[in-house]
């Protein structure tokens, strides 16, 4: 009996004190006692089991809820700041048109913004993006650097800022639709219902504000709507794999071979009458709307998702109308506060929905 007990004890000790295998030595992986490996086989002692990587779009890991909420709040604030900056774009464009022609204004603002962006890239010694990112940057460049500024500037030659706000009223819904197609975003039905309601409220208000008349500028405005939504969607996607400010910075630099000769040619053929308004307008468009606003906007989209960030722009037409009253002397109807309340409710719903 003693010999048998001694053998048993020695066997138990040998199992307990077995050294780690080469698979676990030096890696810090814990041995698995009775656990199952990811491939479904029973794990043996000393064999590490790798935790499955979270799928794209999964929620935060357990225990990190507070950090995820903090990140979401930060993204919400950044996207909201971008909306405030963008809301001054149409009034600033109207000021810029007091001293520049439409083609010269677009060229000058793009070149100035590229100089700021290029200076930041050089100062921080940022390496060029990987080759696979350049097609997406080209979409951003065509959408938000060239297309939207040019088309809205041409429209504002004959349209008021109130009427042009129809574009921004439809932009959140269009961006959410494109993000569903491009990056596979799948918001809930409640989200889509609130987004449609908010878009309808904004469009109804802005059409009523402009008298309900459709002009030739509407072709420019709806074209701007489509190209800008594409640029926002692609930029928001890229901002998940590279810093948001680098997305717009490289897009601006990418356009220099077009914007520099375009600006020089336009300045030679279109008259320039510099004044306080025109200078302030072009500087805001270059530094604010074209660069800094895009920086915080793309960072916010990367943090809270493209669909939710896009719905914050439902407030942009109303903010634009406020700036139009304060800076351009345009009149505001009593329907503005009612529409503002409806839009804020829709924004709150879209931000609280899942997906």
Average pLDDT score over residue span 173-188: 76
Q: Which residues contact 136 (CB under 8 A, 6 or more apart)?
A: 234, 235, 237, 238
Q: Is 70 exceeded by the pLDDT of residue 204? A: yes
pLDDT by residue (tens digit) across 91-102?
A: 999 999 999 999
The tally of CA atoms less than 13 A away on the side-chain side of residue 97 is 21
Which residue intervals of 239-334 are DSSP H helices? 244-254, 256-269, 276-283, 293-304, 306-311, 316-323
Confidence of residue 347 (pLDDT cuts 50, 70, 90): confident
Minimum mean pLDDT among 61-65, 118-122, 291-295: which range?
61-65
Average pLDDT score over residue span 256-262: 95
Confidence of residue 18 (pLDDT cuts 50, 70, 90): very low
Token digits of residue 201: 């409220």
- Going from the C-alpha of 204 to that of each of 117, 173, 313, 317, 332, the distances in angstroms are 38, 15, 16, 12, 15
What is the three-class DSSP state of 130?
coil
At which residue do the structure tokens 């009223």 appear?
Answer: 169
Which pLDDT does position 314 carry in this prediction?
Answer: 79
Rounded distance between C-alpha atoms, residue 176 and residue 314, angstroms: 12
Minimum mean pLDDT among 123-127, 167-171, 259-263: which range?
167-171
Which pLDDT does position 214 carry in this prediction?
Answer: 65
SS3 sequence of 13-72: HHHHCCCCCCCCCCCCCCCCCCCECCCCCECCCCCCCCCCCCCCCCCCCCCCHHHHHHHH
Average pLDDT score over residue span 26-46: 43
The segment with the largest mean pLDDT, out of 210-214, 215-219, 251-255, 319-323, is 251-255
The percentage of the chain sitting over the pLDDT mark of 70, rounded to a whole number, equals: 77
Token digits of residue 106: 């677009």
- Higher pLDDT among residues 214 and 191, named by residue: 191
At which residue do the structure tokens 């990056």 appear?
Answer: 183
Q: Is 90 exceeded by the pLDDT of residue 202? A: no
User: What's the pTM value of the predicted model, to 2 decimals?
Assistant: 0.72
Q: What does the mean pLDDT of the chain come to?
A: 78
Confidence of residue 29 (pLDDT cuts 50, 70, 90): very low
Average pLDDT score over residue span 30-41: 43
- Going from the C-alpha of 161 to that of each of 28, 317, 328, 330, the distances in angstroms are 62, 9, 9, 9
Q: Give the number of other CB atoms < 10 A from CB of residue 221.
A: 23
SS3 sequence of 214-244: CCCHHHHHHHHHHHHHHHHHHHHHHCCCCCH
Which pLDDT does position 89 carry in this prediction?
Answer: 93
Confidence of residue 20 (pLDDT cuts 50, 70, 90): very low
Straight-line distance from the first to the last Cα atom of the chain, in angstroms, rounded to the nearest whole number: 67
pLDDT by residue (tens digit) across 137-146?
A: 999 999 999 9
């Amino acid at each position: 009996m003693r010999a048998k007990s001694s053998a048993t004890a020695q066997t138990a000790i040998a199992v307990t004190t077995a050294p780690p295998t080469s698979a676990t030595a030096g890696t810090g992986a814990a041995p698995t006692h009775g656990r199952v490996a990811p491939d479904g086989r029973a794990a043996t002692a000393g064999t590490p089991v790798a935790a499955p990587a979270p799928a794209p779009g999964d929620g935060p890991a357990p225990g990190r809820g507070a950090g995820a909420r903090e990140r979401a709040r930060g993204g919400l604030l950044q996207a909201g700041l971008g909306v405030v900056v963008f809301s001054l774009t149409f009034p600033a464009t109207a000021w810029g048109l007091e001293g520049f022609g439409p083609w010269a204004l677009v060229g000058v603002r793009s070149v100035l913004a590229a100089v700021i962006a290029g200076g930041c890239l050089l100062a921080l010694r940022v390496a060029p993006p990987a080759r696979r990112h350049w097609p997406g940057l080209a979409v951003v460049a065509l959408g938000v650097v060239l297309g939207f500024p040019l088309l809205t500037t041409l429209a504002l030659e004959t349209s008021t800022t109130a009427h042009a706000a129809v574009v921004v009223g439809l932009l959140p819904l269009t961006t959410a639709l494109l993000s569903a197609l491009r990056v596979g975003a799948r918001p809930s039905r409640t989200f889509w219902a609130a987004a449609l309601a908010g878009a309808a409220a904004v469009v109804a208000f802005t059409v009523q504000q402009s008298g309900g008349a459709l002009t030739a500028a509407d072709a420019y405005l709806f074209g701007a709507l489509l190209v800008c939504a594409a640029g926002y969607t692609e930029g928001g996607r890229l901002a998940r794999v590279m810093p948001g400010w680098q997305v717009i910075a490289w897009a601006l630099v990418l356009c220099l071979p077009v914007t520099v000769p375009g600006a020089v040619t336009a300045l030679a053929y279109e008259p320039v009458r510099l004044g306080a308004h025109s200078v302030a307008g072009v500087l805001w468009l270059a530094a604010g709307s074209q660069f800094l606003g895009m920086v915080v906007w793309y960072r916010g989209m990367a943090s809270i998702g493209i669909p939710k960030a896009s719905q914050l722009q439902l407030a942009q037409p109303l903010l634009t109308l406020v700036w139009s009253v304060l800076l351009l002397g345009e009149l505001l109807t009593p329907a503005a506060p009612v529409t503002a309340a409806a839009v804020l409710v829709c924004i709150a719903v879209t931000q609280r929905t899942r997906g």
